[in-house]
Amino acid sequence: DSGVTQTPKHLITATGQRVTLRCSPRSGDLSVYWYQQSLDQGLQFLIHYYNGEERAKGNILERFSAQQFPDLHSELNLSSLELGDSALYFCASSSQRTGAIQYFGAGTRLSVL
């Protein structure tokens, strides 16, 4: 158990809909990262939040957004969903005391039908 909690485990929705994925980082970790894993694109970094502030953006679509709340949990919002958004979405957390090691949650499997 990595200590990173992601909910829900599975999500099935339709094209055009909006969903929210939730991540609770390990206790004390200030950094949260979001990744997308798909057959086409492999594992891709989406966005990094540190203590509530956005720190880095990767290949995140404009239809996607994220935020980190004062209790350090983070949410990834995906809107106007397309079939190609079907993927496994991972959240990871890290802290300076762990030497930048990112610990991953179990992921949320999103299926867009």
Binding interface with another protein (CB under 8 A): 2, 31, 33, 35, 42-48, 50, 55-56, 58, 88, 90, 92, 94, 99-104, 106-107
CB of 9 to another protein, least distance (A): 10
SS3 84: helix
Q: Which is nearer to another protein, 14 or 96 (CB)?
A: 96
d(CA 81, CA 112): 7
Taking the CA of residue 51 as centre, how many other CA atoms within 13 Å lie in the half-sphere pointing to its CB? Answer: 3
CB of 70 to another protein, least distance (A): 19
Show the 3-state SS of 4-73: CEEECCEEEECCCCCEEEEEECCCCCCEEEEEEEECCCEEEEEEEEECCEEEEECCCCCCEEEEECCCCC
Q: Which is nearer to another protein, 30 or 79 (CB)?
A: 30
Q: Which is nearer to another protein, 45 or 75 (CB)?
A: 45
Taking the CA of residue 70 as centre, how many other CA atoms within 13 Å lie in the half-sphere pointing to its CB? Answer: 0
Q: Which is nearer to another protein, 20 or 104 (CB)?
A: 104
CB of 5 to another protein, least distance (A): 13
CB of 50 to another protein, least distance (A): 6
